[in-house]
A and B are shown apart, each in its own frame.
Chain A
Amino acid sequence: MPEDRTIQELGLDEYKFGFHDPEEYFFKTPRKGIDPEIVAMISKHKNEPEWMLEFRLNALKSFWEKPTPQWGGNLNELNFDEIYYYIRPMENQGRSWDDVPEDIKNTFERLGIPQAERETLAGVGAQYESEVVYHSLKEEWEKSGVIFTDMDSGLREHEDLVREYFGTIIPPDDNKFAALNSAVWSGGSFVYVPPGVHIDIPLQAYFRINAENMGQFERTLIIADEGSYVHYIEGCTAPTYTTNSLHSAVVELIAKPNARIRYSTIQNWSHNTYNLVTKRAVAYEDATVEWVDGNLGSKLTMKYPAVYLMGEGARGEILSVAYAGDGQHQDAGGKVVHAAPNTSSLITSKSISRGTGRSTYRGLLKVHEGAEGSKSRVECDALLLDENARTDTYPYIEIEEKKVNTEHEATVSKVGEDQLFYLMSRGLSEEEAMAMVVNGFIEPIAKELPLEYAIELNRLIQLEMEGSVG
């Protein structure tokens, strides 16, 4: 039977018995911390070409040279020596849903969206403990030349393409965390959409950190060739741990002339995770890049999706929503660089803070000389759920060109006593009333997401808010 053969080929049956013990990893670095030996070990384990090893080792140098940023959230408690930089799970790659081990399915089940994945969505790359364990791709896409795979396979199977673009949008020495990711990256997605191909159904990847003290350093590269369209969705839920863990991803998007990329993320990290992600896109002539970014959970998130508008008529849009609960700091925003004439951009940021939570909007809008006729609008709205919650706004604006149109608007609102009383008088508990106000507040972003994701976003925020009132 073909199915049996696949399982044997993949070696899935080898891991069947040990599977239920989550600590029995297939491969794990022998010690915590990072040095050239660990980096070489990761590269060797993946059978990578020499150039990638060099890339990693150079990145490690940058990581050591770069200071820890002091301008954002508090990173002083983050101890780089207390982290395992590579863990590969016992499961191997699966090609279809049937090949996916039961336990992993249960994990997806708990994430609440397996049916949507199976039925509505054709291609699935899912990351489970640093490694893609499940991946399938709809046949018609393969026929039209679309590549949607995990980054490790991408490097093996499409080395030339990867080599051409990898690290070109976010070079390893861009910042300390991009350097760290470049040194120890593992997993993530590689997507290539050929000229003129429109992928109507979103590509999706789910992943989940599952081991204590484990860093997750996925690396995603999406190339949309001329006139193509792709919507990539990534969502994840992490369980709660007692010690700090680190998530530091790098996402690079390239939208060639007339192409459009939409990248949607909903992240819900455990409350002790440092979520330090570098996301950047370039948009060439008449291309469009849209980031839709939802940040929940984590101890500290620092994330500012960026769009560099490099060609005339290019367009960038960043929609971000963040929820900062007790003890959490969401330092998020967006960055747009107008480097060509008649480019346009829109940044919409919404943050919710509760308890001792703090949300920061940090954004950069830069218009280079010569980018005449460019338009930009930045709108940030903060919602405070109680008296102690805090929000700050740091909108940096650098404009070198006179013939531009830029707007900036910021609002701060509080959930009012009157609003809650009104909703409660209609039978909603205080908690339900609060959740309704919050869901309404994020509605402009939720409606940009596919329905099941909008529902998940609302549900996640509701979960975060549970027990928060009183």
Chain B
Amino acid sequence: MLKIENLHAEIDGNEIVKGLSLEVGKGEIHAIMGPNGSGKSTLANVLMGHPRYEVTDGTVTFEGADVFELEPDERAKMGMFLAFQYPSEVPGVSVANFLRTAVNSVREKELSVMDMYKLLQEKMRIMQMDPKFAERYLNEGFSGGEKKRNEILQMLMLEPKLAIMDETDSGLDIDALQVVARGVNELRGPEFSAVIITHYQRILRYIEPDHVHVMLDGRLVTSGGKELALALEDKGYDWVRQEFGSAA
């Protein structure tokens, strides 16, 4: 599904991702854990095609297609999705209006206004969102928790094949975290893959990963099952630095 090989990426001339490889199969949930500054968010943005990052080496394919040949919207149309850590505000554009445009952009056949409305109501219920929320301007004046819920709402509406979640759990209280996790679990199945990027393992209590990777200084230094996440919680990132820091 997603294949990353020896990826190198930089911003403003500083190399952030330094030879990262990862393969995500269909239906798999991968967690990438790492301390601040390890390059996690850069990885997420590079995968979706943020213009500020420059890929200097390596390849990324999604369902066999070279993603670096594709614009972000083309990647979205193929089924890739990024849940943003810091989603942008778009004043004057309501959530409902935005979602209608977005959903119809990624779908082959346009949804009718009624079907769109029903779909939105249904997904908002899952996310425990007030229907009035749809009339608010996109991310404008949203609390941190509302922004994250809104990201997951978009994911539910767009039904991607691969979701990359960039620290969606950060700044959430336990209730919001559970709602966000419910959203992800809603999509979980043989046709849905996810890469969950996080600093903490607590979200992984609600979304059980198939694979856990630890990222340090621009590459994945160790991988394992969900037990790796628990070990990290016990021992902390200092342990990772001691174990694997010399390799960096």
Given contacts A430-B73, A432-B101, A440-B137, whether A425 and B92 have CB atoms under 8 Å apart is no
Give A5 to B137 CA distance when docked, in angstroms. 56
Q: Is B242 an interface residue (CB 8 A)?
A: no
Assess the A424–B72 pair: CB atoms within 8 A.
Answer: yes
A15 CB, nearest partner CB in chain B, Å: 44
For chain B residues 76-119, which have a beta carbon within 8 Å of chain A?
76-77, 81-82, 84, 87-93, 98, 101-102, 105-106
A423–B51 CA distance with the chains assembled, in angstroms: 13
State which of B49, B76, B137 has its C-beta within 8 Å of the C-beta of A427.
Answer: B76
- Residues A418 and B88 in contact, CB atoms below 8 Å apart: yes
CB within 8 A of B76: which of A418, A426, A444?
A426
A429 interface contact, C-beta 8 A: yes
**In the complex the two chains form, is A427's CB within 8 Å of B105's CB?**
yes
**Contact partners of A421 in chain B: CB under 8 A:** 48-51, 72, 88
Query: Do A443 and B88 contact each other (CB < 8 Å), given the known contacts A425-B81, A427-B102?
Result: no
B residues near A437, Cβ cutoff 8 Å: 90, 93
Q: Which residues of the partner chain B approach A430 to less than 8 Å between Cβ atoms? A: 71, 73
CA distance A262 to B191 in the complex (A): 55
Contacts of A428 in B (CB 8 A): 73, 101-102, 105
Chain A 195-222 near chain B by CB (<8 Å), digits 1 or 0: 0000000000000000000000000000
How far, in angstroms, from A423 to B146 measured CA to CA in the complex? 18
Interface residues of B in 18-60 (CB under 8 A from A): 48-52
The 6 closest A-B pairs by CB, nearest first: A440-B92, A443-B92, A427-B105, A440-B93, A426-B102, A424-B72
Does B193 belong to the interface (CB within 8 Å)?
no
Contact A432 B92 (CB under 8 A): no
Residues of B within 8 A of A22 (CB): none
Among residues of A, the one whose C-beta sits closest to the C-beta of B82 is A425
* A436-B101 CB under 8 A given contacts A419-B90, A426-B154: yes
- In this complex, the member of B93, B98, B158 whose beta carbon has the largest number of chain A beta carbons within 10 angstroms is B93
Cα–Cα distance between A430 and B49 once the two chains are bound (Å): 13
Which A residues are CB-close (under 8 A) to B91? Answer: 440-441, 443
- Pair A426/B93 contact, Cβ less than 8 Å: no
| A422 interface contact, C-beta 8 A | yes
Q: Report yes or no: A436 in contact with B81, Cβ–Cβ below 8 A.
A: no
Which residues of chain A are within 8 angstroms of B73 by Cβ–Cβ distance? 424-430, 432-433
**Interface assignment of A367: CB less than 8 Å from any CB of chain B:** no
Tell yes or no: A407 within 8 A of B by CB: no
How far apart are the CA atoms of A421 and B106 in the complex, in Å? 15
With beta carbons under 8 angstroms apart, the residue of A423, A426, A429, A439 that contacts B92 is A439
User: B125 to nearest A CB, angstroms?
Assistant: 21
| CA distance in complex: A281, B244 (Å) | 76
Contacts of A417 in B (CB 8 A): 50-52
Q: In the assembled complex, how far is the CB of residue A303 from the closest CB belonging to chain B, in whole angstroms?
A: 23
Which residues of chain A come closer than 8 Å to B137, judged between CB atoms?
Answer: 440
Q: Chain A CB within 10 Å — which of B71, B73, B91, B101 has the most?
A: B73
Contact A419 B92 (CB under 8 A): no
A426 to B158, Cβ gap below 8 A? Answer: yes
Whether B93 contacts A422 by the Cβ 8 Å rule is no
Q: Closest Cβ of chain A: how far from B194's Cβ, in Å?
A: 15
Q: Which secondary structure dominates chain A's binding surface?
A: helix
Q: In whole angstroms, how far apart are the Cα atoms of A424 and B76 in the complex?
A: 8
Please tell me if the beta carbons of A425 and B88 are within 8 angstroms of each other in the complex: no
> Could you say which residues of chain A place their CB within 8 Å of the CB of B87?
422
Name 29 interchain pairs, CB-CB below 8 A, sorted by A: A416-B88, A417-B50, A417-B51, A417-B52, A421-B49, A423-B88, A423-B90, A424-B71, A425-B48, A425-B73, A425-B76, A425-B84, A426-B73, A426-B76, A426-B98, A426-B105, A426-B158, A427-B77, A427-B105, A427-B158, A429-B105, A433-B73, A436-B93, A436-B101, A437-B90, A440-B90, A440-B91, A441-B92, A444-B92
Residue ranges of A at the interface with B (Cβ–Cβ < 8 Å): 416-419, 421-430, 432-433, 436-437, 439-444
- A114 CB to nearest chain B CB (Å): 24
Distance in Å from the Cβ of B67 to the closest Cβ of chain A? 12
> Smallest distance from the beta carbon of B42 to chain A beta carbons, Å?
14
> Which residue on chain A has the smallest CB distance to residue B77?
A427
Residues on the A chain within 8 Å of B84, using CB:
422, 425
| Nearest chain B CB to A436 CB, angstrom units | 6
Name B51's closest neighbour in chain A (CB-CB).
Answer: A417
Instruction: A417 to B50: give the CA distance in the assembly, Å.
Output: 8
> In angstroms, how far is the closest chain B Cβ from the Cβ of A382?
14
Q: A428 to B49, alpha carbons, bound, how many Å?
A: 13
**Chain A: minimal CB distance from B23 (Å):** 22
CB-CB under 8 A from B52, the residues of chain A are 417
Residues of B within 8 A of A440 (CB): 90-93, 137-138
Question: In the complex, what residues of B have CB within 8 A of residue A442's CB?
Answer: 92
CB distance from A406 to the nearest CB of B (A): 25
A250 and B158 CA atoms in complex are apart in Å by 51
Q: Which residues of A contact B90 (CB under 8 A)?
A: 419, 422-423, 436-437, 440
Contact A425–B72 (Cβ < 8 Å)? yes
Complex Cα–Cα for A41 and B1 (A): 78
**In the assembly, what is the distance between CA of A7 and CA of B35, in Å?**
82
Residues of A within 8 A of B154 (CB): 426
In contact, B93 and A439 (Cβ under 8 angstroms): yes
Given A417-B51, A423-B90, 5 extra CB contacts under 8 A = A417-B50, A421-B48, A425-B81, A443-B92, A444-B92
CA separation between A433 and B77, bound complex, in Å? 15
Interface centre among A421, A433, A441, A443 (most CB of B within 10 A): A421
B136 to chain A, nearest CB (A): 12
Residues in A neighbouring B106, C-beta threshold 8 A: 426-427
In the assembly, what is the distance between CA of A416 and CA of B88, in Å? 9
Q: In the bound complex, what is the Cα–Cα distance between A424 and B98 (angstroms)?
A: 12
- Bound CA span A443–B75, Å: 29
**Cα(A421)–Cα(B85), bound, Å:** 13
Instruction: Point out the residues of chain A lying under 8 angstroms from B138, CB to CB.
Output: 440
